[in-house]
Structure 1
Amino acid sequence: MRYVVSGLVGMLAATMFSACASAASGHVVLYSANDDTVNKMVANGFKQATGITVDVISTGSGVLFRRIASEKGNPQGDVVWGVSASLLKQNSKYFQAYAAKGADQVPAQYRDPGNLWLGTNIQVAVIGQNTKAIPAGQGPKTWNDLMDPKWKGKLAFTDPANSGFSYATASALLGVWGDNDAAWAKLRKLIANTKVLSRSTLVYDGIGSGEYPLGITLEYAGYLWARNGAPVSVIYPADGTVALAEGAAIIKGDPNSVNARALVDYLASKPTQEMLLKATFRRPARQDVALTDAKGMPPLSQIKLLPYDDQKWEAARARTLRKLKDVIQETR
């Protein structure tokens, strides 16, 4: 996927806050679960704004946190970004507190009360549909619809072990279906229809290219593909969905702490979140950023949202992931 962001990075650099300029040397290592285009946009903008080079390590969020855990005695990364709030909460022992500039513009439910992590955007789980492969109006409308045998092998899903948002989607459905044997039977039926992929970007790209007519995905990817001319539509399931924060944190004991703080300030800033909304349809966590640059994206108030008990599902993560792994293996 390629899109034009000409002028945005330069505008952001010109309006960037002076605090970043005080750290205008060296580099910072960013562990990111975002796609390469977004990573390059942020790295280039930050470099122009501050003179600091961003070295990006990009992979799935589950892989990133396994790496952070393995490096805890000798951290190699400075900032982790583009991962779900549930994973940030679960791994907060690896972070050092920092009160980013502008954090007060982010609602309390999307940031850590002790400043260990900060939400930078909000991700909404949706069903993506390639309308060339499945004509508009003939696709699923609800999560229950995805259990229809006619979708078997046509539906892509990211392995919950590698994606915080896939885990959140699966656990939210379990919760709303009763978190019992019957709920697991329904989820098993849905997962049996899926192609389970290792990274979220493989799902996004597969829907856009038509390799997978359907996918359990995030809203921004569908809008981005559609704007670039791909026959992709975004379906907000009528039976409800989840909206969860995705954010950033500074890794405890990181080797470039001053530059890390500057990078988090940059990611949290209004100009950066406006840039990412306009260029990539990332829904901003800041409440002072309007959705006018994302035509067609509804406000959260117009989306039916499912309740999500993240404390419960964080505590049950290891057990739930084991069961999900068994379900995936048994349904291949």
Structure 2
Amino acid sequence: MKKLAATTLLLAGLAAGANAADPVIYTTNPVPAVEAAQAVIKEKAGLTTGIITGGSGVLLRRIEAEKAAPQGDVFWSSSANTMGAFKDVLEPYSSPELANVPADLRVADDYFQPANLHVVTVMVNTDQLDGAPAPADWKDLADPVWKGRIILPDPANSSTGYTIVWGLSKLLDAETYKALVGNLVVSSSSSAVPKGVAMGEYAVGLTFETNSYSYVDGGQTEIAIVYPSSGTFTTPEYSALVKGAPAGDDARKAIDALLSKEAQTELLKVAFRRPSRTDIKVSDYVKLPELSSIKVFKIDEEEAARSRDAFLAEWAALPKAGSSE
């Protein structure tokens, strides 16, 4: 009960400052990213935005529960493989800013708008290797030596976690996949994954590049980012217009601002989010490799969305090393 009360206070505090008619954004993003986006929306669209934070699964289920009387206007952000299960409570919107986004990142009818591109990484705390070599590929993490030393966000509540385990199930053979899953500690919090590795609680975390790089940028020299040699996974993260959004056209203006060059540049600088736009060069702003130098294993986002419930049921039945808050 105390935990629930604390969450309610946090949400109320973040939503403060917005009037009833202002767009309300339900967001999975961290505070620095949210503040940067709010500033650009204010500058470009003249709008003050209310903010409600949470995990992607939690927020999307909340939008679903509120569909008879929507309380939010914009969802920002998650992957298509998670959002696809909630299309009935979202509304297509073809923002003019999508002209600057590659066609292969867009979804049919523009139900969602590509806001940035995530790359899955293996985050390693080299101080916690106990003399072992750092893993170079996914199959290395199937070795029993890693049991209980790898943390992953819960795929049932995190689009990060879902993207990772879905991709692994397609890239690896069944035996290796099950062995790797058996070594994992599953966290109920996406943010606990990079934090746990950075604090030395775990040797390895499976997380998006934006999360792992923030600790490298912060000066933690013991943190290494591994792009697995057999290929890693990329997934666009999307914004979406809530069906029946109370703010109407102002909700659409907020999405336009989120997709703008100014917003995506700021999000790259403060939150290390790779842009979805083609007119921003990543290496001009941060010390990350260009996407062209990373080996990528393509995953089918639409198949992942269609198969979500069945896949998560299979995932839940697999033995794991443990769970964490």
- Residue number in structure 1 paired with 2:182: 192
Aligned pair 1:320/2:311, yes or no? yes
Shift of 1:331: 6.5
Task: Tell whether the 8 Å contact from 2:24 to 2:73 is kept in structure 1 after alignment.
Answer: yes
Task: State the TM-score, normalizing by the size of structure 1.
Answer: 0.85
- Residue 154 of structure 1 corresponds to 149
Amino acid at match of 2:309: A
Say if 2:126 is the partner of 1:131.
yes
Q: Distance in 1 between the 2:317 and 2:218 partners? A: 38
Q: Which runs of structure 2 are paired with 1:1-332 in the superposition (5 Å)?
A: 26-134=21-129, 138-177=133-172, 183=174, 185-230=175-220, 231-328=222-319
Amino acid at match of 1:121: N
Q: What's the CA shift for 1:330?
A: 8.6
Inter-partner Cα distance in structure 2 for 1:51 and 1:270: 17
Task: Answer whether contact 1:133 1:213 (CA < 8 A) is retained.
Answer: yes
TM-score (norm 2): 0.87
Distance of 1:35 and 1:119 partners within structure 2: 18
Q: Distance in 2 between matches of 1:328 and 1:82?
A: 30
- Quote the residue 1:10 is aligned against: none
Unaligned 5+ runs, structure 1: 1-23
Shift of 1:26: 4.2
Post-superposition CA distance 1:6-65 (Å, at most 9, x none):
xxxxxxxxxxxxxxxxxx994211111112221222224423544422221111111111
Distance 1:136 1:264 in 2: 48
- The answer as to whether partners of 1:85 and 1:110 remain within 8 angstroms in 2 is no
Query: Which secondary structure does the structure 2 equivalent of 1:132 belong to?
Result: helix
Give the residue type in structure 1 aligned to 2:201: E
Output the CA distance in 2 between the equivalents of 1:26 and 1:155.
45
Partner Cα separation in structure 2 for residue 118 and residue 283 of structure 1:
15
SS for the counterpart of 2:116 is strand
SS in 2 for 1:67: helix
Identical aligned pairs, as a percentage?
33
CA RMSD in angstroms, aligned pairs only:
2.2
Question: Which one-letter code corresponds to 1:145 in the other structure?
Answer: D
1:200-251 alpha-carbon deviations (Å, 9 max, x no partner): 1111222222222210011122221111112322100011111110010000
**How many matched pairs?**
304
Letter in 2 for 1:111: R
- Greater mean deviation of Cα atoms: 91-100 or 153-162: 91-100
Q: Secondary structure at the match of 2:264?
A: helix
| Deviation of 1:129 (Å) | 0.9
Shift of 1:193: 1.4
Unpaired segments ≥5 residues, structure 2: 1-18
